[in-house]
C-alpha cells in the first residue's frame, strides 16, 4: 500500500499532504499565474466601470441638457 499523498498542481509529481507544491520553480509558476489572474480581473473591472460611466453619460445626457 502506498503512503497518502497528493500531486503537485503544476507538474503532477507526488508530494506530501502538508505541502502545496513540489519545488520553488512550481511555486514561481503558481505565483505568476496568480499575478496574471489579478491583472486580468483588474482590466475587466476597469473596462466594466468605463462602460457603465459611458452608458450613464449617454443615458443622462438627454435629461440634463
pLDDT of residue 32: 97
Tell me what the pLDDT averaged over the chain comes to: 92
Is the Cβ–Cβ distance between 59 and 52 less than 8 Å?
no
> Quick one: how far is CA 19 from the chain centroid?
21
Q: Which residues of 9-19 are buried (b: 16+ CB within 10 A; e: fewer)?
A: ebeeeebeeee
Is 70 exceeded by the pLDDT of residue 24? yes
**What are the phi and psi torsion angles at 59 (to 5°)?**
-70, -35
Least confident of 1-5, 15-19, 21-25, 42-46: 1-5
Each residue of 26-52: pLDDT tens digit?
A: 999 999 999 999 999 999 999 999 999
Q: What number of CA atoms fall less than 13 Å from residue 30's CA on the CB side? A: 12
Is 90 exceeded by the pLDDT of residue 60? no
Mean pLDDT of the 12-27 span:
93
Amino acid at each position: 500500500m502506498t503512503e497518502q499523498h497528493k500531486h503537485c498542481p503544476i507538474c503532477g509529481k507526488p508530494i506530501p499532504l502538508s505541502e502545496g507544491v513540489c519545488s520553488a520553480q512550481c511555486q514561481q509558476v503558481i505565483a505568476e499565474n496568480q499575478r496574471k489572474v489579478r491583472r486580468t480581473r483588474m482590466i475587466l473591472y476597469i473596462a466594466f466601470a468605463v462602460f457603465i460611466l459611458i452608458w450613464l453619460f449617454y443615458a443622462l445626457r438627454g435629461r440634463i441638457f
